[in-house]
Structure formats: structure tokens, C-alpha cells
Amino acid sequence: MAFLILAIETSCDDTSVAILCDKVILANVVSSQLDHSQYGGVVPELASRKHLVNLQIVLEQALYQAQISLIDIDAIAFTQGPGLLGSLLVGINYAKGLSIALQKPLIAVNHMEAHILAHWIDYTPELPFLCLTVSGGHTCLTLVQKNPLNHQVIGRTLDDAAGEAFDKIAKLLGLPYPGGPFIDKYAQQGQPIYNFPKPQIPNYDFSFSGFKTYIKNFVNNFSAEQVQQELPNLCCSIQNAIVNILIDKFFKAIQDLKPKSVGIAGGVSANSTLRKKVQELGNTLQIPTYIPKFEYCTDNAAMIGITGYYKLLSQNFGDLGTVPYAR
């Protein structure tokens, strides 16, 4: 018997609802809040208020695309955290309301685990699978071992996340929020002519705070006109430096832990240089390498739904007492 799963994602500034029939995505609607751009970053209270307005509209679009009605749903998966507390509360309470009304079980999903499980939408990576998850809030290396839900985090950022570094550096360069895609765009027109020192962090951990301060001081030597003129070369050099920091640790972890397959996940995995270099690394090491489709890189409810599907199979349910975790 096939299960119909409704999935809700509201951890940050994207309101998303997906509908899955087992592993098949029938709908994955994402409404990105553009309002935050003018403030140079996500304003938490504004984000939760927008989720309240958007959620019903996005749900109706998803039901329409999937050509089903709410009463057909077998389970409701939702993001429990980590994320912005107010944003999480909107999605969690919406899911609880649906659960009461439809008398269907709840499935609580960890957002970071879901970024990794996004690979299981289209593929079945061989285990152990080593995943480099790079988003606006997190940067970590995770080993998925005995089954898709068995995760061991082996390294993480000690301060800023990779996406945060992209966004904050983009702001220094006068680019809009979120800056990662803009740096990526300008980088493609430039050359990596500037060299920056690499943070020396032990084990599989990362750090981007010192790197960001270095770039801030470096850019301060340029006039506003020079920054404009040099934008492609600056973006290309910065992007290469961030990607090299990520690739070095990824390479070290692959060499040491010898996983059967590897992949990248999270918003920064949409980055063109990272995708290219990870694929090259996989080819060189002759290891199966999984790069997610663009729609499954940044926040989306399909990844919550696929995680919900595996949790449903293992009878791992949430309940009306489930509370969010912000970190």
C-alpha cells in the first residue's frame, strides 16, 4: 500500500509544502519571501508573519498540483528544527492543527538531516555515505551509516556557516541578500587572481569568521569604484577560497573514513564551483558522487517529505506535545 505524505517546511524564510506518494514527489511548492532583501538579512518576526499568510496558499497550490484532497493524506511531516523559533512554531502548529482535524499521525523531521535525505528522492546512495552539508545556518560533515536515518556528525563549523560567509561577504561588496547566488554569478565572469590565507582548523571542523574578517580588511583597501570594477575577480577569488576550504576537509574525511559514496547538500551546494570541484574530486577518487538537483539544494518541503517517508517506515512518529528546537 502506498502512503500519501504531506510535508511542511517553515524553518527560515521559505514557506514550502510538498506531497509525496511514498518516495515520489507529486508536488513541491516553495514560496520564497523576498521582503528580507531590503534589510540585508532575514528579519525573524517578519518571516514568521509571512509564513502565517503564505502557508494556506502554498498548501492549496500543492494539493492542486498533486490532484488530491486533504482527506487522502496518510501522515503529516513537518520541520521540528533547527531554525528560527517563530518560523518553526508557525509550521509546527499548522501541522498539529491538520493532524487533529484529519486524525492522521505527525512526523517530526530534523531540517539538517532532511537536507541529506534529499539525495534519497532520486537516488539510493551506497552506505556509508559521507555528506558535506553547507547552508546558510550550518556547515557539517556527516556520515550516514547503517540506514538513511543513521547520522553521525564528524565535523562542523566552529563559528559562521559557509552560506553565512557568502552572504556577509556579499553584503561587504554591496550585493543584495542572499548574496551567495550573486557571488556565484559575478565569479563566472572573473578570474581567481587574489589569494587569501586558509583557516588552519584541526580535524574535520571548519571556521569562516576569521576568513570573513580578512576579506573585510582586504576590501577596505579598495575604493567603491574599484570594488565595482573588480567585482568579478573579487567574487571569483572569494568563491574559490571558500570552496577550497570545504574541499580540503571533504578530501581529508574521504581519505580517512573511506565511505562507499559521497555527496553535497544544503543551499550552498547550488554553487557552481563547489558542484564542479566535488564532481572532479569524486572522479579522481573514483567514488560514486551525488550532487542534488537545484530544487532540492535550497530549503524545500520535498526533503522533509522524503525524511518523513523513512521515519514512517520505521514507525518513528511525533505527537501533539512535540516542541521546536531552534539550534
Using the minimum distance from each CB to ligand KG4, give the nearer residue, 135 or 289. 135
Interaction with ligand KG4 in 19-58: which residues (CB under 6 A)?
none
Phi and psi, residue 169, nearest 5°: -70, -40
Out of 136, 192, 308, 324, the residue judged to bind ligand KG4 by CB under 6 A: 136
Peptide bond into 105 cis (omega under 30): no
| Residue 13 contacts Zn ion per CB under 5 A | no
Q: At closest approach, how far in Å is the CB of 185 from ligand KG4?
A: 8
| Residue 113 contacts Zn ion per CB under 5 A | no
Out of 10, 48, 110, 271, the residue judged to bind ligand KG4 by CB under 6 A: 271
Q: At closest approach, how far in Å is the CB of 68 from Zn ion?
A: 26
Q: Interface mask (CB under 6 A) for ligand KG4, residues 297-316, using x and -?
A: -xx-----------------
Q: At closest approach, how far in Å is the CB of 2 from ligand KG4?
A: 29
Out of 181, 199, 210, 288, the residue judged to bind ligand KG4 by CB under 6 A: 181
Out of 16, 33, 99, 135, the residue judged to bind Zn ion by CB under 5 A: 135
The cell for 74 is 496518510
| Residue 81 contacts ligand KG4 per CB under 6 A | no
| Residue 82 contacts ligand KG4 per CB under 6 A | no
9 binds, among Zn ion, ligand KG4, none (CB under 5 to 8 A by kind): none
166 binds, among ligand KG4, Zn ion, none (CB under 5 to 8 A by kind): ligand KG4
Out of 28, 135, 157, 237, the residue judged to bind ligand KG4 by CB under 6 A: 135
| Number of other residues whose CB lies within 10 A of the CB of residue 169 | 26
The cell for 129 is 555515505
Q: Contact residues for Zn ion (CB under 5 A)?
A: 135, 299
Q: Contact residues for ligand KG4 (CB under 6 A)?
A: 12, 135-137, 163, 166-167, 178-181, 184, 266-268, 270-271, 298-299
